[in-house]
Structure formats: C-alpha cells, structure tokens
Amino acid sequence: MQITLLNPQGNFDAKDSYWTQHPDFGGQLVYVKEVASRIGALGHQVDIVTRRIEDERWPEFAGAFDEYSGCKNVRIVRLPCGPREFLPKEKLWPHIAEWARRIRDFYETEGRRPDVNTGHYADGGLAAMLLEEMTGVPFTFTSHSLGAQKMERFLDETGDFEAVVARFQFDRRIAAERAAMARAGIVITSTEAERREQYAHPVYRGAIDPADDRKFAVIPPGVNVDVFGERATSDVEGEVAARIEQRIRRDIPPERRHLPLVICSSRLDVKKNIVGLVRAWAENETLIAGANLAISIRGHDNPLRAPERTFAPEQEALLDEIRTLLDERNLWPCVTTVNLDSQAELGAAYRHLARNHRGVFALTTFYEPFGLAPLEAMAAGLPAVATKHGGPAESIQDRYGVLVDPTDPDDIASGLLKLIKREDVWRRYREAGRMRVLEMYTWERVAQRYLETIVRVHEGEGAADDSFTRAAWFTDPDTADISPDWLKEMMR
C-alpha cells in the first residue's frame, strides 16, 4: 500500500531536531515517525508529508525530501504553503487548503495517489478531509489532543474567552476537528478515556458519536525499545553517564550523593507542572531527607543556577518560581539539572540512573492525553510516578507504576516515597513496569494495529459521514458555521 501521514506543524528531519524544545514538535512527531518506520518495515510505502520551510533560522527543513537512516520505504516529503518562514501552528490555518492542493498536485505529478491518508492533529486532519473531497482518498484521523480540553484549561487559568480564542485560534481548530472526525473513516485514539470523555465534549456534538464502535480504533502509542530498552545501548552511553555524574558533583553535596535520584524531563511549560514537583520537596521533610531531583530541559544545561537568557517570558517566570521555592526551603543541595539532547541521550540517562542511583521517573503534568514519557523510562528500568489524570490511568493503572494527583504536592511526595523508601518495592515496580511496556506498548505492536485499521478504511469499513462538510470555513471564512459566540455557549 501507499500510505501518507499528514503533519503540517512542527517538522521532521533525520536528526529529530527541536523535538523537546518547541511546543509544536514533541510527542506527536515521535508518534508519526515511529508508526511510519514500523509500517515501512512491513513492506508498505510510507510518506510523512509536512510543510517545507525556507528560513535561515530553520535550515533543517529547507529540502523537498529527506529520510531516516535505516528506515526502509519511508520518505519525508516537504511541500510549501503560505510564507517561506516557520509559522507556529496557530498561524497555519489560512494556508492548510493551499497545502492540501499542493499535496494533490504532488501525487498527480508522480502519477499515483495514496491508498489511504492519515491526518495527525487538527491541521493534518483538516488537510486529509480536504484531500478526500478533492481526490476521494479515504483517511483516518488521530487528533493527539483535542482543542476543547486545551481551551478549558486556558479558560480556567485566565477566564478571558476572547483573548484565548484569538491567541490560539480555537474556533478554527475546533471547526477543523469537527470536520476531520466526522468525515474520517475511523478515528484513532490512544485510550478508551480519550474516546469516551474527550470526544463526548459538547463542542463535538453532531460531528461524532463516541459510542459508535465502527468509528473508533483505540491504539496506544509505543516505546522504541531499541532506544529505551533496559538492554539497549548507543554510542552516547559513556558520555551521558559521565555528564550526569559531573552534574551531580557540581550541584549535590557529597553527603547527599548516595540518595535515590528522581528525574523529570519535559518542556518548560505551565501544564508540565515542574513547579508542583519541586513543591513536593518543599513541603515534605521526609522527601528532602530521602531523595534528590534532576530536572532536564532539553537544550539547557544549568538553567536554574546560570540563567542563559534564552527563555520566553512565561518560561523565565516558571524558572523564577522554582528558584523561589529552592531559596525559601534551602533546597538547592537537593536539585541538579542536566541537558539531554536526544532520545538516545534520554535512554542512556534512564539506564544509568536505574543501574547506579536507584532512579525514579516523575511526570506530574496536570493532564496527559496518553503519557509516552513514563513508558519510555519504564522500558529502561526506571519505575515511574505519573499524573493520574489522562492516559497513565490506563497504561500504568497504579499497578505498574504509581499514580498521583498533580495538584496535591503531598500526594506527589507520597508517591515518590513509596518507591524511594524501600528498595524491594522499587525493584518490584521496576520489573512490573518494564514488562508492561514489552507486553503492551512496543511500536511494532502499534504499527500492526495501525495498519489493520488503515486496511479497514481502504476496504470501506468505518463510519465516514459524507454529508458532513465544513471545508468552506477554510476557503471562505465568511461562511463559517462555528462562530465565537457558538463556541462560547458550548464551553459554558
């Protein structure tokens, strides 16, 4: 089969550039790359189609084609739309229709067309729907996250509906999601909770029925065990281990270096709740006495002690909040920071911490749609403490790791202490977590299920609603059926 994965935002290159440094990159790109590579390994032709960027600040994405070393049958296709420079995802909406036309023209020039398109995120879903209208090629839709839930979180923080909609273009995003989910043959979700709860939000009413089993396939993402497996290895193992030990010597006094080390690796973003994790130390003497904390923010080696002046204002505010907590409770001897620049370095770091520091991985985000990061750590041998809100409740289940309330520092501390205080408990969770990943969450398993779903759509199964069309919004904004007033009413 010829399969395309449509992902206009972020970008793809052989070095996985910027994956943890920019909010438009991150987990969905990992997902797309891994699914593509594993389906390609099964003998199918796979194109990751993304946006071409000719911008001196983003030189990695200027070429029309790219590839991943060792990935058979997979190519990266970059097609321009709109201005040449990089655009954040909120500014892509006026250009998605143009991008879809360029995709159509590209395949017509090659003398072929995909058997199935797969749309990723709202903008990729919209492109897949527009292509279906133009070419008749069916598609699947994987949202990765939905706009309604994200909008609710921003409204909880600010209460300013007009400002939130204007900044993040939620009216356009939700219109695109409604169109994509209605017209897709099958919608792919990561968890049952995502299907039953997120797609049941009032703003999606009339576009999809979350109780329709024909419409959904629940396929959890996977872990690349070649990178994160406990027995995996890479050419950065020794260098990463030395880097971690040097940072510990730099920041942690000798009398504390024998203590277990908890690692948090994420973007510097309010929703990742790194502040809440630090607050767990600030409010718990037993945790202060029992463990150290390593914070990894990709691209930044020592952001707390030696500010690099490269952060956005809201990120600098988060760092200041962490520094204040460290000052108030004299927690500086408990905390180190380390830069881990790639998935290979993350895998090497997790293995080193598991073998030498009785390490624990912490993910205390307020909500995690799926939560691949703790599974990656678990594969490497680190037991995980993760948010109970979202995907970890299904994948970890408070059985293969420890679930905590991210809004409660006491609960975070209790979860960490459960793993830290007794080595036999730590070992039991370590093995249970590792086996959970190997049995349920490898990318080979994901790709096989994904391919089965694609074949179903190609053969006409699923529940595409051909009567539902909202493409006019993106070619003639004056015909928009989802107004800010309608959206405001649905969000009440």
Cα–Cα dist 397/47, whole Å? 35
User: Structure tokens of 29?
Assistant: 């790109």
Q: What is the CATH number of the domain that holds 351?
A: 3.40.50.2000
pLDDT tens for 383-408 read 999 999 988 999 999 899 999 999 99
pLDDT score recorded for residue 483 = 64
What are the tokens at 44? 């199918």
Determine the Cα–Cα distance for residues 79 and 293; give it in Å rounded to an integer. Answer: 43
pLDDT of the residue at 473: 47
229 and 360 inside one domain: yes
- As given in the structure block, the two tokens for residue 117 are 């398109």
C-alpha span between 473 and 175 (Å, rounded) = 8
Tens of pLDDT, residue by residue over 222-234, are 898 999 999 999 9
Residue 475: what pLDDT? Answer: 47
Q: Do 403 and 460 lie in a common domain?
A: no
Q: How many domains does the chain have?
A: 2
Task: Name the pLDDT band for 478 (thresholds 50, 70, 90).
Answer: very low
Instruction: List C-alpha distances in Å: 98 to 62, 92, 142, 171, 413.
Output: 18, 10, 21, 20, 50
- Are residues 311 and 253 both part of a single domain? yes
Query: 296 versus 22: which is more confidently predicted?
Result: 296
Q: Going by C-beta distance under 8 Å and a sequence separation of 6 or more, which residues neighbour residue 330?
A: none
Q: Where are the beta strands (DSSP E) in 93-154?
A: 116-120, 139-142
Question: How confident is the model over 81-124, as pLDDT tens digits?
Answer: 999 999 988 899 989 999 999 999 999 999 999 999 999 999 99
What's the farthest any 2 CA atoms get from each other in the chain?
69
Tokens linked to 122? 């709202």
> CA 227 to CA 479: how far, in whole Å?
48
Q: Is the pTM of this model over 0.95?
A: no
Sequence-distant (6+) residues with CB within 8 A of 53 are 11, 61, 62, 78, 84, 85, 86
Question: What 3-state class would DSSP assign to 417?
Answer: helix
Q: In the prediction, which pLDDT does 480 show?
A: 46
Domain ranges, residue 301: 225-440
Residues 215 and 245 in one domain: no
Q: Is residue 206 domain-shared with residue 284, that is, in the same domain?
A: no
pLDDT band at 159 (very low <50, low <70, confident <90, very high): confident
DSSP code per residue over 127-140? HHHHHHHHH---EE
The answer to whether residues 258 and 287 belong to one domain is yes
- 56 burial (CB, 10 Å; 0-12 / 13-18 / 19+) is exposed
Q: What would the DSSP string read from start to end of 370-390?
A: S-HHHHHHHHTT--EEEESSB
- Average pLDDT across the chain, whole number: 91
My answer on whether 92 and 202 are in the same domain is: yes
Same domain, 69 and 103: yes
4: closest CA among 32, 34, 24, 38? 32
Q: Are residues 273 and 296 in the same domain?
A: yes
**pLDDT attached to residue 20:** 63
Closest CA relative to residue 268, chosen from 258, 277, 259, 280: 277
Residues 32/19, Cβ–Cβ less than 8 Å: no
Tell whether 211 and 239 lie within a shared domain.
Answer: no
| Alpha-carbon gap, residue 155 to 56, rounded angstroms | 36
Name residue 66's beta-bridge partners: 76
Of the pLDDT bands very low, low, confident and very high (cuts 50, 70, 90), residue 245 is very high
Residue 394's SS3 state is helix
Residue type, 331: L
* Neighbouring residues of 313: CB distance < 8 A, sequence distance ≥ 6: none
Q: How far apart are CA 257 and CA 245, in angstroms?
A: 10
Residue 398 backbone zone (phi > 0: left; psi -120 to 50: alpha; other: beta)? left
Q: Is the pLDDT of residue 132 over 60?
A: yes
Q: What is the mean pLDDT of residues 299-328?
A: 89
Structure tokens at 427: 């070992």
405 shares a domain with 456: no
Q: Which residues pair with 50 in a beta bridge?
A: 78
Give the number of other CB atoms < 10 A from CB of residue 309.
5
Q: Is 481 a residue whose pLDDT tops 80?
A: no
Statement to judge: residues 18 and 128 lie in one domain = yes
277, 293 contact by CB (below 8 A):
yes
Type of residue at 282: A
Q: Which residue has the tokens 């050419």?
A: 235
Give Cβ neighbours of residue 260 (< 8 Å, ≥ 6 apart): 290, 291, 292, 357, 358, 359, 360, 419, 420, 426
